[in-house]
Amino acid sequence: MATLTIDTCSRWFGNVVAVNDVTMSIGPGITGLLGPNGAGKSTLINMLAGFLPPSAGAVTLDGAATWKNPEVYRALGIVTEREATYDFLTGRQLVVASAELHGLPDAGAAAQRALETVAMQQAQDRKIGEYSKGMKQRVKMASALVHDPQVLLLDEPFNGMDPRQRLHLIELLRRMGAEGRTVLFSSHILEEVEQLAHQIEVVVAGRYAASGDYREIRRLMTDRPHQYTIASSDDRALASALVADASTAGVSLEDGVLRVQAREFLRFAELLPRVARDADVRLFEVSPADESLESVFSYLVEN
């Protein structure tokens, strides 16, 4: 059982604050680190991995600092997002070298096991430079798993994977989580995190935004004010009918475009067709105006 702790941690680069006063604790099982691109996920993972010191606060694994402490890597496996590896080695040579650097008694056998875990035995004797992106990702995974670590950190592991590789990785991570290992992976795609993580930590613009299981996060993301643009047979009549209901937060009619701000998603979804029918207005088009992930995240931050 291993626990990663981020304690009132900030990290800035010159004038840019990448991580702002974040505190979280990551225990056994699978945790997803969710946030839009540029939210500071990679910076957090780099600090957890001991590749970057926090500017303020502390990052520890079971009480031991990860920065300037190579001994933590006995319990830690890391798969970074950057693709570069030793292209001049074969997949097997890379994993064997990893096993040797960990000082494992039987490096060859350990490498074999790790390569089997990621299903790379077929291609193990080809040069890494000839691998596809997904294969590189898998051989890096094997290299990170070769010492059977208690903690696994993965930065955007699903990037560039085809659906079959994705399923395989999901299965592998689930197995590791079920074995009581601490698995943390980052992603900017809610569905990806939802599918896999039992615990989700959301970061936006370097700050902690929300955490919980996927149901809580899903609820937070759908139960928020939504904005719609609506086209109908009589926008003015529809606007006046909608504004009478409490679930409508605001209505505007500008340049012939009807915009509605709804307070709650579900209630509004039910309200709109009923109101339109009662007012004898035909709806031509209802489209959400701010469904980008960024707007969802910024809502979470404001709350």
Partner 1 sequence: MNRTIVRLTAQGMLGGRRLWLLGALALLLVVIAVATRLLAPVSEADAAALLRAVAFSTFLPLFGLIVGTGAIAPEIDDGSIVHLLAKPVSRHTIVQSKLLVAVGAVVALAVVPTMLAAAVLGAGPRTVLAFGAGALAAGAVYSVLFLLLTIVTRHAVIIGLVYALIWESLVGSFVPGARNLSVQQWALSVTESIAPSGLVTADVGLGLAYGLIVGGFVAATWYAGSRLNALTLTSEE
According to the binding rule CB under 8 A, does residue 155 interact with partner 1?
yes
Tokens of 67: 């920065």
According to the binding rule CB under 8 A, does residue 133 interact with partner 1?
no
Q: Which are the contacts of 255, defined by CB distance < 8 A and separation ≥ 6?
A: none
SS3 state of residue 169: helix
Q: Going by DSSP bridges, is the β-strand pair 199-204/29-34 parallel, antiparallel, or unpaired?
A: parallel
Q: How far is CA 55 from the centre of its chain?
A: 23
Tokens of 94: 């890379």
Comparing CB distances to partner 1, the nearer of 136 and 226 is: 136
Tokens of 121: 């035995």
According to the binding rule CB under 8 A, does residue 127 interact with partner 1?
no
What angle do helix axes 133-145 and 91-101 make, rounded to 10 degrees? 20
According to the binding rule CB under 8 A, does residue 207 interact with partner 1?
no
Closest distance of CB 41 from partner 1, Å: 7
According to the binding rule CB under 8 A, does residue 125 interact with partner 1?
no
Identify residue 138 by its one-letter amino acid code.
Answer: R
What is the x/- site pattern for partner 1, positions 37-66, by CB under 8 A? xx-xxxx--x--x-xxx-------------
Cα separation of 139 and 152, whole Å?
A: 15
According to the binding rule CB under 8 A, does residue 101 interact with partner 1?
yes
Closest distance of CB 177 from partner 1, Å: 21
According to the binding rule CB under 8 A, does residue 160 interact with partner 1?
no
Phi, psi angles (nearest 5°) of residue 298: -70, -30
Closest distance of CB 209 from partner 1, Å: 17
Comparing CB distances to partner 1, the nearer of 104 and 283 is: 104
Answer for the pair 168, 119: CB distance below 8 angstroms, yes or no.
Answer: yes
Comparing CB distances to partner 1, the nearer of 88 and 284 is: 88
Comparing CB distances to partner 1, the nearer of 39 and 251 is: 39
DSSP 128: G
Q: Which of residues 248-287 bind partner 1 (CB under 8 A)?
A: none
Question: For residue 37, what are the CA distances in angstroms to 41, 50, 204, 274, 301?
Answer: 8, 21, 9, 39, 15
Closest distance of CB 187 from partner 1, Å: 13
Among 8, 25, 27, 74, binds partner 1 (CB under 8 A): 74
Answer for the pair 226, 268: CB distance below 8 angstroms, yes or no.
Answer: yes
Neighbours of 274 (CB within 10 A): 11
Closest distance of CB 88 from partner 1, Å: 5
Closest distance of CB 266 from partner 1, Å: 35
Count of residues binding partner 1 (CB under 8 A)? 40
Q: Which of residues 16-35 bind partner 1 (CB under 8 A)?
A: 18
Which positions lie near partner 1, rule CB under 8 A? 13, 18, 37-38, 40-43, 46, 49, 51-53, 68, 70-74, 76-78, 80-82, 84-86, 88-89, 94, 97-98, 100-103, 143-144, 155
